[in-house]
Amino acid sequence: MRLFLETLRETCRECGPKAALVLPGEGSERQVSFDSLRMGSLAAAQWLDGMGVTRGDRVAFCLPKSLAAIQIHLAACSMGAISLPLNPAYSKAELDYIVRDSGARVLIVARDNCPTEGSPGALDVPCGRLCPISVRDFEETMALQPAPERDPAPGPSDPALMLYTSGTTGHPKGACMSHASLTANMDMLRDAWQWTREDTLLHILPLFHVHGLLVALHGALHVGATTVMHAKFDAPAVTRALADGPATVFMGVPTVYRRILAEVGDRRIRLSGMRLLTCGSDRLPVELFEAIERQLGHRVVERYGMTETGIMLSNPVDGERVAGQVGVPLPGVRMRVRDPRTNAPTPVGEVGEFQTRGPHVFLGYWQDRAKTRAAFTEDGWFRTGDLGRCGPDGRFEIKGRQNDLIISGGFNVYPAEVEHVLARHPGVAQCAVAGLPDAEWGEAVTAFVVPADPCPAEHELIRHCRGSLAAYKAPKSVRFVDSLPRNAMGKVRKDALVAHGAERERFAARSLEGRLAEIPQLDRGIGRIEATDIRRPDIG
């Protein structure tokens, strides 16, 4: 197998002056050629050398979405170190945890975003050095600095990349991908999505997540396609770029598409040069799939993947793209559906846990043998923790995370099924369904709804659900909220909903005096939930 880095080196040689990256800015746009990207990454590797970074060291960087972040990422991979991109929206406590857990040799941060040493917010790098950089100066210096060629140092099974998973419970875990698994992912996607050098990718996703970094950026670099990289997801700018720009490929999450459609309004726009719109990282409701087709004129290719595996399943580029289904295994990916409790095979068409095996699967969690062992079955299949089924036609449909499964009165309720029905009600703008602890039912199916105008009555929504679902699946209650708590990828944080809902239950059960005393804390709790909302500058 030819590693991703070797292919990239050859691509840079062949594409030379062609734009690898186009960085739109205020009134002007910067172009970075494949030559310049390669030189910048070599110089960044030399710079890391100078700081004592060697093979196997973790190179953590917490930078805005920028050329500097890409130079450092490619540099770390090429010298056999482990690239560790971090979300610039992390709090100090989150950064401290990851830097300590990973034993990072360096933590590179943007100078204007770095509390000075000795101040209460100063970052601590117990096993290495804190390196504040000025992003723009760094990019220019690296692009001009001559640096020697390097032979790709790492071997196929060496770790190349570590991404802390956006787990919703407990501490995040560092998922390590090898050079071989990165390469396998790139090769599979190139073939399945028919990437070519003629493509132009409109890139709006963050670089600290598998979707934006591997699927999108690596996908384009791997074949020598140009990436137009927006530093942030700005719905009006992206909608304009989709309609007028040179892009042939666009990748988004459902929240991104929702916001683009809101921008388009009742119009229908033509995406003249576009050949492929993909969507993943979260459930794509059928209504959204249909609205995209209606307003943007494209049937989105929905795909399914995760940090530990990259992409596993995708709807076909040539062939039927089915709304509500996540497709078929990519070439080289093995999938099976098993009973999550007994690990026995489930009959065709029945719901079980998706398990996968193949060269795309990660190495394990950083220094956590117990969690790594628990993530695999005894016969070596990775347990995704996602529930769904595979039909007789070999197509997969996802029902939701095992952890989100609600057991109410002994019956299994898949939140996605209820959300799907709720979303069809005109009074529902957004919704999420979770199980709240309940003395009678064990867990009570609870709907959290951002209402449209006019706001429907609770009993009306429950009746609507009962019209299409068995009674035990219909929500027992509906909470109307201003927004849903979402993580950096726009996914609803069910844990925050459950915690908030449970808090409200406790609150309602208190005496009047107790409730009055608790109001300030409760409001702070709601504020915290909203602080993670996607409308804040999380994406990008």
In the complex, the residues that contact ligand AMP under the rule CB under 6 A are 165-166, 210, 280-284, 302, 304-307, 326, 384, 386, 398, 401, 489
Nearer of residues 123 and 423 to ligand AMP, judged by Cβ: 423
Separation of alpha carbons 37 and 49, rounded Å: 18
Nearer of residues 296 and 387 to ligand AMP, judged by Cβ: 387
Rg (CA), the chain: 24
> 352-386 as b/e, with b when 16 or more CB fall inside 10 Å?
bbbbbbbbbbbbbbbeeeeebeebeeeeebbbbbb
Min CB(175)–ligand AMP separation in Å? 8
Min CB(398)–ligand AMP separation in Å? 5
> 134-165 as b/e, with b when 16 or more CB fall inside 10 Å?
ebeebbebbbeeebeebebebebebbbbbbbe
Reference 501, options 462, 445, 440; nearest CA is 445
Min CB(143)–ligand AMP separation in Å? 31
Question: To 5 degrees, how large is the angle CA 407–CA 412–CA 415?
Answer: 85
Nearer of residues 302 and 419 to ligand AMP, judged by Cβ: 302
Separation of alpha carbons 43 and 20, rounded Å: 17
Min CB(371)–ligand AMP separation in Å? 14
* Sequence-ordered strand ranges (E) for 88-199: 106-110, 129-133, 159-164, 174-178
Write out the H or E segment, with its range, that includes residue 243.
helix 235-244
Nearer of residues 206 and 245 to ligand AMP, judged by Cβ: 206
Separation of alpha carbons 154 and 56, rounded Å: 9
Min CB(320)–ligand AMP separation in Å? 16
Tokens of 243: 């309609």
Nearer of residues 61 and 304 to ligand AMP, judged by Cβ: 304
The answer to whether residues 355 and 383 touch, using CB atoms and an 8 Å cutoff, is yes
Tell me whether strands 364-365 and 382-390 are parallel, antiparallel or unpaired: unpaired
Min CB(97)–ligand AMP separation in Å? 18
Reference 408, options 479, 469, 337, 483; nearest CA is 469
Min CB(404)–ligand AMP separation in Å? 9
* Sequence-ordered strand ranges (E) for 380-525: 382-390, 396-401, 406-408, 411-413, 428-438, 442-451, 477-480
Total H helices, total E strands in the chain: 16, 25
Min CB(415)–ligand AMP separation in Å? 11
Tokens of 402: 């095992």
Nearer of residues 154 and 252 to ligand AMP, judged by Cβ: 252
Min CB(139)–ligand AMP separation in Å? 28
| C-alpha separations of 155 from 1, 58, 152, 158 in Å | 11, 16, 8, 5
Nearer of residues 128 and 252 to ligand AMP, judged by Cβ: 252
Nearer of residues 44 and 413 to ligand AMP, judged by Cβ: 413
Nearer of residues 15 and 390 to ligand AMP, judged by Cβ: 390
Reference 288, options 435, 480, 465, 428; nearest CA is 428
Nearer of residues 167 and 427 to ligand AMP, judged by Cβ: 167
Min CB(286)–ligand AMP separation in Å? 12
SS3 content of the chain, % helix, strand, coil (to 5): 35, 25, 40
